Amino acid sequence: MTYIGCHVSIAGGIDKAPERARELGCEVMQIFTRSPQGGKASDLTPDLVSRFKLKAKTYKLKATYIHTPYYINFASSDNRIRHGSISVVRSELERGSLIGAKYVMTHLGSAKELPPNEAMEKVIEGLKKIFDGYNGETQLLLENSAGAGGVIGSTFEEFGLILKSLHNYKSLVGICLDTQHTYASGYDWDTDYKKTLSALKTSIGIEKVKLIHANDSKVGFNEHKDRHEHIGKGKIGLQGFKNIVALAKKNKIDLILETEHPEVEEDVRILKKFRGK
């Protein structure tokens, strides 16, 4: 079964998120467990974790997904930033295991100050360090980027290389595919859908895609900008999303929206309509 949901605020505590998710029509939800801009993470006390799990069960959420903070950068030439990114993502996996989250997803960062090959080596090295001694249940998903300014992970080929390098950790690593980022990176979900699907199968493998961020695009095809739009109001269009939902349904991949509230509720309804009962 493919379940549909959106990113939900944790204002006031993570235990407030499940009710908000249900009000928006979510069957699954995505949250931050800490401020996406930086700062110390709040404690996940046993009482808070218990309340969160109880409410997630009460509101019949099928799964919780965690997005890492925006500042993660495994490709930085600054050791402090790179090692800090490794530490935070590892912490998010452990926090995810505490609350029963299925996946943590992260961007890989930008290689503005390093040659591409060296940056890729840093990314792979950092990802391997995350799993050193990790024995939690929450898995890590690598999210593709829109490809602006030396950002790592905008092409399916890059992810294929990364996944191959992480072969020893294949049970812990998958891909989160953002539809807006793929479109902005030159993958068409509408008129050239078969070509996009073929590239995905060849470079990554459909089985490695564990989650889809279903976002339409404010920017045009291959413009390399990260600009989300509501379903059907952007450049990907409704037929593109019918193809995306069909792909998700066939492969039992959940769909998460990252568009603005409260209009995201309508986006959830559109995707559910395309999915059917």
Annotated domain spans of the chain: 4-275
Task: Band the pLDDT of 74: cuts 50, 70, 90.
Answer: very high
Q: Which residues make Cβ contacts (< 8 Å) with residue 12, sequence separation at least 6?
A: none
pLDDT at 69 (0 to 100): 97
Considering the chain, what is the average pLDDT of its residues? 96
71-80, 88-97, 148-157, 238-247: least confident range = 148-157
Q: Exposure pattern of 167-202 as b/e (b: 16+ CB <10 Å)?
A: eebeebbbbbbbbbbbbbbbbbbbeebeebeebbee
pLDDT tens digits for range 40-53: 999 999 999 999 99
Q: Which of 260, 259, 190, 249 is nearest to 273 (CA)?
A: 249
pLDDT at 147: 82
Quickly list H helices, 100-192.
116-130, 156-165, 179-184
* 148-157, 218-227, 245-254: least confidently modelled range: 148-157
Q: What is the pLDDT of residues 87-128, one digit of tens each?
A: 999 999 999 999 999 999 999 999 887 888 899 999 999 999
- Of residues 118, 186, 177, 91, the one with CA closest to residue 147: 186
The single-letter code of the amino acid at 161 is: L
Give the contacts of 268 (CB within 8 A, at least 6 positions apart).
4, 5, 6, 24, 25, 26, 257
CATH homologous superfamily, domain 4-275? Divalent-metal-dependent TIM barrel enzymes (3.20.20.150)
pTM to 2 decimals? 0.97
Q: Which of helix, strand or coil describes residue 93?
A: helix
CA proximity to 103, closest of 262, 271, 253, 258: 253
Return d(Cα 241, Cα 247) in angstroms, integer.
10
Distances (CA, A) of 247 to 56, 80, 255, 256: 27, 40, 11, 14
